[in-house]
Amino acid sequence: MSAVSGRAVENGAQRRIVAILSLATVLGGLGVGASLSAGALLIAEVTGNDALSGLGSTMNAVGAALAGMPLARLAARRGRRVALASGNAVAVLGAVAIIAASAAGFSPLLFAGLAVLGVASAVQLQSRFAAADLAVPENRARDLSLVVWSITVGAVIGPNLITPGEILGEALGLPGLAGIFIFTIGAQLSAGIVVWCGLRPDPLLESRRLAEAAAADGPSPRRSSTGGGPGGRAPQFLAIALIALAHATMVSVMAMTPLQIAQHGGGITLVGLTISLHIAGMYALSPVFGMLSGRIGARPVLLLGFSVLALAVLGAGLGGESMPVVQVALVLLGIGWSMVTVAGSALLTEVTPVEARPRRQGQSDTAMNAAGAAAGGASGLVFAIGGFPVLAAVAGALVVLGVSAAVSLRGRRQSID
């Protein structure tokens, strides 16, 4: 197969693959967004202890972290279609366990179910990498970012399903909050069906086929879109570290923002508005950053992203009682996270040979979720010691590490371009 015909196959299949992955991410995201909102409330209801409600997001992050590598190994063996659809099916089991636990008032099963449901978040993360498998280099970050942007729909609409979910749950004789997880089951099943029926050709398996065909045609003076860079493993692990550091920075500040607002007289409405603005910053502009990465390169976008995170941390630390300053800081926090996540994910795909991509991508998702879980857990202790200023100082140290890693990666540009 010639390079021209290979690229034609790539482009012809890629548009449909991105559309399928985006649709599945929207459907799956509805369940994830709704579940994250209801999970904390359900924990408080089942355990009778409001202090444990924060474990809902922690269990989700733990489940996503544990699922990263198994899903990656399954993708490496069987392709993205099998891996993503299987992840959706496992997430359904988690939702069923949550419903059963709430009906029985059995908190250990509830926590286990929330962790298993975290597989849905891992599926969303791996979907962005699936969008990059067949993308030509100049469009890789853009296509990946379109799938990231699709998460916005579930993040915004999902929490608004709580009231309909309560009505459904009570109509079925279940605890009201359990009803929302019925929507989660439907959302995950729908996403799995879309992926199973629509993700053909499988992007990972097809990219391998194209790489093998290109190798059979002889070496090319330029790296192919399916090949990956020759710069060794160091750039790959640096890209993984960059994504994890940005995620830890974002989670550490975001997790304590509701408490910061409450301590300075803000009500639940202000908390909800601030977090909504933050989520919009995380996802709404991701296609812009994807196109920017394709135009000027991933490394400048990474450095710019950490610069934005630095401004966000500075604003959070110095904002004090000014809620507008805190809100602007949270928007910038989401934007910086988006820039690093989109550019870092595209770069990881670029510098990793095609045969090693699922393994590295799974390691990246695991590191990202583990860093988020650790940062979320530690942020409460740091906040209790010194409030938002000390927490911002710790987050600032993470930003400095990220900038150092990005500069180091830039210094290796000659070996990986």
Burial of 357: CB neighbours in 10 Å, binned 0-12, 13-18, 19+: buried
From the list 226, 332, 248, the residue with the least C-alpha distance to 13 is 226
Q: What percent of the chain has pLDDT over 70?
A: 88
| Cis, peptide link before residue 201, omega less than 30° from 0 | yes
Under 8 Å CB-to-CB from 148, ≥6 apart: which residues? 128, 283, 286, 290, 338, 341, 342
pLDDT digits (tens, 9 = 90+) for 315-368: 988 877 788 888 899 999 999 999 999 999 999 999 998 888 999 999 998 999
Confidence of residue 221 (pLDDT cuts 50, 70, 90): very low
Q: In the chain, what percentage of residues exceed pLDDT 90? A: 44
Angle between the N-to-C axes of helices 323-351 and 119-130, in degrees from 0 to 180, rounded to the nearest 10 = 60
What are the tokens at 283?
């996802």
DSSP structural state of residue 179: G
CB 376 within 8 A of CB 248: no
Residues 332 and 210 sit within 8 Å (Cβ to Cβ): no
297 Ramachandran zone, left/alpha/beta (phi>0; psi -120 to 50): left
Type of residue numbered 257: T
Is the bond into 235 cis (omega within 30 degrees of 0)? no
Helices (H), 227-356: 234-263, 268-283, 286-296, 298-318, 323-351
- pLDDT at residue 219 above 70? no
What confidence tens digit (pLDDT) does each residue in 69-120 have? 999 999 999 999 999 999 999 999 999 999 999 999 899 999 999 999 999 9
The tokens for 88 are 């959706």
Band (400; pLDDT cuts 50, 70, 90): very high
With CA atoms as reference, report the closest residue to 350 among 81, 122, 133. Answer: 133
Pick the CATH number of 234-416 from 1.10.3720.10, 1.10.760.10, 1.10.1270.20, 1.20.1250.20: 1.20.1250.20
Cβ–Cβ < 8 Å for 298, 350: yes
The three-class DSSP label of residue 320 is coil
Domain with CATH 1.20.1250.20 in the chain: 3-216, 234-416
pLDDT interval class at 37 (50, 70, 90): low
pLDDT confidence bin for 226, thresholds 50/70/90: very low
pTM value > 0.85: no
Closest by alpha carbon to 283, among 208, 335, 340, 343?
A: 335
Q: What are phi and psi of 320, to 5 degrees?
A: 60, -125
C-alpha–C-alpha distance, residues 313 and 331, integer Å: 11
Q: What is the pLDDT of residue 231?
A: 56
Kindly state the average pLDDT of the residues 260-287. 79
pLDDT score, position 87: 96
Query: Which residue type is seen at 402?
Result: G
Instruction: Return the pLDDT at 248.
Output: 94
Instruction: Detail the DSSP E strand segments found in 117-275.
Output: none
- CATH architecture of the region 3-216: Up-down Bundle (1.20)
